């Protein structure tokens, strides 16, 4: 067992720190800073130079050092969202050369924004039953149907979508992966109000919408596989422990600020017990992430631990929510919506958002199915493919 | 970075696993619950694999390895619910490694390493007082006072007794003024006694190492709990694959699959807690109290919950004596209470992490 990063990585950390000290100021334009960070080899490491990345050998420890140091300096990392996190890795693995050249660079520079067109009213957890259809007519795809829960679609120029192109084929084999320009008369986007009162996600209606014939990633009927392209994207292996750590810190801060029984809540034995339990859980996740990284480096991935990460994290967020709710007490009666200077009631939003974490990207019950099947080797439920 | 066992550790754990798989079938884990006798034979077998010397320096016939090497054995011991004095002998031996002067080490370590003498630890003073700061016995040339929940006290050769100020004293079997009274024990595999001393002569160990000894105990209990809880998950999963009701494997029912997934989620990722705590014990002493408290609090709270769930998954057969899952549930209750309940250690976690 060796918990040191080793001289090469210690030197790398020093290099990152120096870079951040010399190049990052909080009043800077994020795009300009990112360009410099790409030049230094710190961002978009898995993306070839010709598409705007820094083309570095995959190194999960360096990826982690970068997250740690950029977080500490509060410097912007890669552009977030499904374009960079999902489409770009998919294009790199399965895209045509012209697609890579045309779409990757503007996407990672934040100039092209993408919506993810997967879920439909009748196809949520059972995504492969989706029914939005695309037919090839006169050299372009004619698209009809509806997508739902499409985050930020109103602000996006493009969508990557799963649509049914081979109605005669079996469920999974009839799906293709299309790229679609959202700015056209055949597409209507209607925002949906979420339980927080904010409208991040949308319904997207397609009525004879069109996209060119070659805006397909992979071949016809390969869409299901294409969407599952598991590119070895080093960031994806880190498991998101940084978010849990940030949440824990905010929670401790809250417990120090608010009062309970006339004393700072942090002095209350029950509160201390609850926070200590969270600390144990956070430490569990941190160490589990270390095991996953170590096994990845050794070429022997800890798959069973990896598939537990999402559920562990959404459970953690839910537990934090329960405690924060107890701590803010009466302030939970106040809404952060329509309030210019919300106080503790900001945690009401966190309380709601922690639910989104347990639903988006595969509900917690779907995560349990995955753990049961792929982790524990339990048989599938009858009739479910 | 390599946060994982190395090849040698895996190999050693494998040999312990093989030994216990062969020598500690359910029947043997259940036996002490039936007849109440201590199983020293199994422990002697483990000692013959060299586990007694893991943490003993090479100069005393030991292997000079670390607490992690011992903890992975505790993991296997817990997995098989192996009865016997593994934990108490390891702690008694470690006390002399940590706190003995040259003469004291010379006198005992070689014998303890090969199991020619057996040690136990007398720490608790009742009402949840387990920790070095709680100990009240005066560390004099003689000891007077009571210690509770002393494992395998009958026939132990050495008693390491926790005293005021975290000092440790050794009492030798048959010393005048010492009375051993067995108490009925939930985990019959690790029977407990109350030990009283009235002006009992003792050898005071040179260093004050009580807190460090307790930390090691927390790590070993956490490892035992991890192994035991892992066994419970595996047993429940195996049963769900095999048992049929309503004409199909019960493991196809989603309600059960989700329970099993939650059980695995509660256990698997926690292995790092005891690994890390054990690792710090050898390499980062200042980090040990927090790491050990987190491991103990978290794992020994998880183990009873998982053992209960495993019994529930098995239905009626799980509740029978002969089926034997209760051995793990009872072991879980021992791991949870011994050296202090999870709440006690969470309070320490809060303080030690600067809250």
Chain A residues closer than 8 Å to B273 by CB? 280, 283-284, 287
Please tell me the distance in Å from A180's CA to the nearest CA on chain B: 37
The answer to whether the Cα torsion of B238, B240, B243, B249 is positive or negative is negative
**Phi-psi category of B40—alpha, beta or left, where left has phi over 0 and alpha has psi -120 to 50?**
alpha
What is the distance between the alpha carbons of residues A277 and B226, in angstroms, rounded to a whole number?
17
Across the interface, whether the CB atoms of A280 and B294 are under 8 A apart is answered yes
Percentages helix, strand, coil for chain A, rounded to the nearest 5? 50, 15, 35
Taking one residue from A and the other from B, the number of pairs with CB-CB distance under 8 angstroms is 151
Q: Are residues B21 and B90 located together in one domain of the fold?
A: yes
Q: Are residues B255 and B314 located together in one domain of the fold?
A: yes
Mutate to test the interface with A, among B349, B353, B354 (most CBs of A within 10 A): B349
Sheet holding B192-201, edge to edge: B142-151, B192-201, B178-183
Query: pLDDT tens digits for A339-365?
Result: 787 789 999 989 999 999 899 888 999
What is the distance between the alpha carbons of residues B171 and B201, in angstroms, rounded to a whole number?
7
What's the CATH code, domain A239-375?
Answer: 1.20.140.10
Residue A239: per-residue pLDDT: 62
What is the distance between the alpha carbons of residues B332 and B186, in angstroms, rounded to a whole number?
10
Please tell me the distance in Å from B278's CA to the nearest CA on chain A: 11
Please tell me the distance in Å from A382's CA to the nearest CA on chain B: 7
For residue A377, the number of C-alpha atoms closer than 13 Å in the C-beta half-sphere is: 8
Residue A231: per-residue pLDDT: 46
Mean pLDDT across the stretch A118-129?
93
Residue B174: CATH number of its domain: 2.40.110.10
Q: Which of A1, A269, A371 sits opposite B3 (nearest CB)?
A: A1
Chain B residues closer than 8 Å to A61 by CB? 1
B66 in contact with chain A, both atoms CB, cutoff 8 A: no
Q: Are residues B220 and B343 located together in one domain of the fold?
A: yes
| Burial class of B249 by CB neighbour count within 10 A (0 to 12, 13 to 18, 19+) | middle
- Residue A385, pLDDT > 70, answer no
Query: pLDDT tens digits for A95-105?
Result: 999 999 999 99
- Residue A383, pLDDT > 70, answer no
Across the interface, whether the CB atoms of B252 and A377 are under 8 A apart is answered no
Residue B69: CATH number of its domain: 1.10.540.10
Query: pLDDT tens digits for A168-192?
Result: 999 999 999 999 999 999 999 999 9
Query: pLDDT tens digits for A209-245?
Result: 999 999 999 999 999 999 987 544 555 555 678 889 9
Q: Check: CB of residue B202 under 8 Å from CB of residue B161.
A: yes
Query: 3-state class of A186 per DSSP?
Result: coil
| Domain parsing of chain A, residue ranges | 7-78, 112-227, 239-375
B353 in contact with chain A, both atoms CB, cutoff 8 A: yes
Mean pLDDT across the stretch A82-111?
95
Q: Check: CB of residue B13 under 8 Å from CB of residue B73.
A: yes
DSSP A159: E
Residue B37: per-residue pLDDT: 87
Q: Are residues B214 and B348 located together in one domain of the fold?
A: yes
Q: Are residues B236 and B347 located together in one domain of the fold?
A: yes
User: Residue A277's closest CA among B212, B127, B293, B258?
Assistant: B293
Chain B residues closer than 8 Å to A268 by CB? none
Q: Which of B81, B97, B114 is the last residue of a domain?
A: B114
Residue B129: per-residue pLDDT: 94
Phi, psi of A190 (to 5 degrees): -120, 120
Range of the domain at B290: 210-352
Q: How confident is the model at residue B1 (pLDDT cuts 50, 70, 90)?
A: confident
> Is B124 contained in some domain?
yes
Q: Which residues of A belong to the active site? A: 234
Angstrom CA distances, B135 to B123, B168, B234, B341, stand at: 7, 10, 39, 17
> Is B226 contained in some domain?
yes
Q: Are residues B214 and B340 located together in one domain of the fold?
A: yes
Residue B140: per-residue pLDDT: 87
Residue A234: per-residue pLDDT: 55
Q: Are residues B179 and B312 located together in one domain of the fold?
A: no
Query: pLDDT tens digits for B165-202?
Result: 999 999 999 999 999 999 999 999 999 999 999 999 99
> Is B2 contained in some domain?
no
A298 in contact with chain B, both atoms CB, cutoff 8 A: yes
Q: Are residues B142 and B168 located together in one domain of the fold?
A: yes
Q: Are residues B107 and B70 located together in one domain of the fold?
A: yes
> Is B137 contained in some domain?
yes
Mutate to test the interface with B, among A245, A372, A379, A381 (most CBs of B within 10 A): A372
Q: Are residues B214 and B343 located together in one domain of the fold?
A: yes
A252 in contact with chain B, both atoms CB, cutoff 8 A: yes
> Is B142 contained in some domain?
yes
Residue A236: per-residue pLDDT: 56
Query: pLDDT tens digits for B318-346?
Result: 999 999 999 999 999 999 999 999 999 99
Query: pLDDT tens digits for A241-283?
Result: 888 999 999 999 999 999 999 999 999 999 999 999 999 999 9
Residue A384: per-residue pLDDT: 55
Contacts of A60 (CB under 8 A, 6+ apart): A234, A237, A238, A293, A296, A297
B343 in contact with chain A, both atoms CB, cutoff 8 A: yes
Residue A230: per-residue pLDDT: 57
Q: Are residues B23 and B60 located together in one domain of the fold?
A: yes
Cα B24 versus chain centre, distance: 17
Where do runs of H (alpha helix) occur along chain B?
7-23, 26-35, 40-48, 67-79, 86-99, 102-114, 210-242, 254-267, 271-283, 288-314, 325-337, 342-352
What is the distance between the alpha carbons of residues B118 and B193, in angstroms, rounded to a whole number?
16
Strands (E) located in A165-222: 175-181, 187-191, 201-212, 216-217
Query: pLDDT tens digits for B40-54?
Result: 999 999 999 999 999
DSSP A263: E
ipTM comes to 0.96
Phi, psi of A196 (to 5 degrees): -80, -10
Residue B28: per-residue pLDDT: 96
- CATH superfamily for domain A112-227: Butyryl-CoA Dehydrogenase, subunit A, domain 2 (2.40.110.10)
Work out whether strand A133-137 and strand A140-151 pair parallel, antiparallel, or are unpaired.
antiparallel
Residue B265: per-residue pLDDT: 98
Contacts of B139 (CB under 8 A, 6+ apart): B163, B164, B165, B167, B169, B204
b/e code A147-156 from CB counts within 10 Å (16+ = b): bbbbbbbbeb
b/e code A282-296 from CB counts within 10 Å (16+ = b): bbbbbbbbbbbbbbb
Across the interface, whether the CB atoms of B272 and A290 are under 8 A apart is answered yes
What is the distance between the alpha carbons of residues A381 and A256, in angstroms, rounded to a whole number?
47
Residue indicated by tokens 């360009």 = A35
Q: Are residues B264 and B284 located together in one domain of the fold?
A: yes
């Amino acid at each position: 067992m060796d918990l040191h990063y080793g001289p090469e990585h210690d030197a790398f950390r020093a290099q990152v720190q120096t870079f951040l000290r010399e190049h990052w100021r909080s009043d800077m334009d994020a795009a300009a800073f990112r360009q410099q960070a790409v030049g230094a080899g710190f961002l978009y490491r898995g993306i070839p130079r010709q598409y705007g990345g820094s083309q570095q050998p995959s190194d999960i420890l360096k990826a982690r050092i970068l997250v740690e140091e950029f977080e500490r300096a509060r410097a912007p990392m890669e552009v977030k969202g499904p374009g960079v996190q999902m489409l770009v890795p998919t294009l790199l693995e399965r895209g045509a050369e012209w697609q890579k050249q045309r779409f990757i660079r503007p996407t990672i520079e934040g100039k092209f924004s993408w919506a993810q067109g997967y879920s439909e009213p009748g196809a949520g957890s059972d995504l492969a039953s989706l029914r939005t259809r695309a037919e090839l007519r006169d050299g372009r795809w004619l698209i009809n149907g509806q997508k739902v829960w499409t985050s930020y679609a109103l602000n996006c120029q493009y969508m990557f979508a799963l649509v049914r192109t081979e109605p005669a084929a079996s469920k999974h084999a009839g799906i293709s992966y299309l790229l679609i320009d959202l700015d056209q008369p055949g597409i209507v986007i209607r925002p949906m109000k979420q339980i927080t009162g904010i409208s991040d996600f949308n319904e997207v209606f397609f009525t004879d919408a069109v996209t060119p014939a070659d805006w397909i990633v992979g071949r016809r009927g390969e869409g299901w596989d294409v969407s599952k392209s598991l590119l070895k994207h080093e960031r994806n292996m880190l498991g998101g422990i940084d978010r849990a750590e940030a949440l824990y810190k905010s929670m401790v801060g809250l417990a120090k600020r608010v009062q309970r029984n006339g004393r700072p809540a942090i002095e209350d034995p029950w509160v201390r017990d609850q926070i200590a339990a969270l600390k144990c859980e956070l430490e569990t996740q941190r160490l589990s992430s270390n095991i996953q990284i170590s096994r990845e480096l050794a070429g022997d991935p800890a798959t069973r631990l990896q598939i537990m990460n999402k559920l562990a994290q959404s459970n953690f967020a839910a537990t934090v929510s329960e405690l924060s709710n107890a701590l803010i007490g009466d302030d939970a009666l106040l809404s952060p919506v329509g309030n210019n200077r919300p106080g503790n009631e900001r945690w009401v939003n966190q309380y709601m958002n922690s639910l989104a974490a347990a639903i988006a990207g595969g509900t917690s019950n779907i995560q349990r199915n995955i753990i049961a099947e792929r982790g524990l080797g339990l048989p599938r439920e009858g009739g479910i493919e | 970075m390599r946060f994982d066992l190395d090849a040698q550790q895996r190999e050693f754990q494998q040999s312990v696993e093989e030994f216990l798989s062969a020598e500690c079938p359910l029947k043997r884990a259940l036996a002490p619950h039936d007849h109440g006798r201590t199983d020293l034979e199994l422990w002697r077998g483990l000692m013959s694999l060299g586990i007694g010397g893991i943490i003993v320096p090479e100069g005393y016939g030991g292997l000079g390895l670390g607490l992690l090497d011992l903890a992975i054995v505790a993991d296997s011991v817990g997995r098989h619910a192996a009865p016997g004095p593994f934990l108490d002998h390891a702690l008694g031996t470690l006390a002399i490694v940590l706190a003995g002067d040259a003469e004291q080490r010379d006198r005992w370590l070689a014998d303890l390493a090969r199991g020619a003498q057996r040690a136990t630890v007398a720490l608790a003073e009742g009402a949840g007082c387990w920790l070095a700061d709680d100990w009240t016995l005066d560390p004099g040339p003689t000891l007077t006072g009571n210690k509770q929940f002393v494992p395998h006290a009958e026939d132990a050769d050495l008693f390491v007794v926790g005293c005021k100020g975290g000092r440790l004293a050794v009492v030798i079997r048959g010393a005048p003024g010492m009375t051993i009274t067995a108490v009925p024990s939930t985990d019959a595999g690790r029977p407990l006694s109350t030990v009283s001393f009235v002006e009992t002569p003792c050898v005071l160990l040179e260093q004050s190492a009580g807190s460090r000894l307790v930390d090691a105990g927390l790590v070993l209990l956490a490892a035992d709990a991890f192994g035991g809880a892992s066994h419970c998950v595996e047993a429940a999963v195996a049963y769900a694959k095999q048992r049929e009701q309503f004409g199909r494997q019960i493991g196809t029912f989603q309600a059960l699959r989700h329970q099993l997934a939650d059980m695995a989620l509660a256990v698997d990722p926690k292995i790092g807690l005891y690994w890390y705590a054990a690792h710090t014990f050898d390499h980062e002493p200042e980090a040990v109290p927090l790491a050990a408290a987190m491991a103990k609090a978290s794992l020994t709270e998880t183990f009873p919950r998982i053992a209960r769930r495993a019994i529930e998954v098995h239905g009626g057969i799980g509740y029978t004596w002969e089926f034997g899952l209760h051995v793990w549930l009872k072991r879980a209750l021992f791991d949870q209470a011994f050296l202090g309940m999870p709440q006690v250690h969470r309070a320490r976690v809060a303080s030690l992490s600067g809250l």
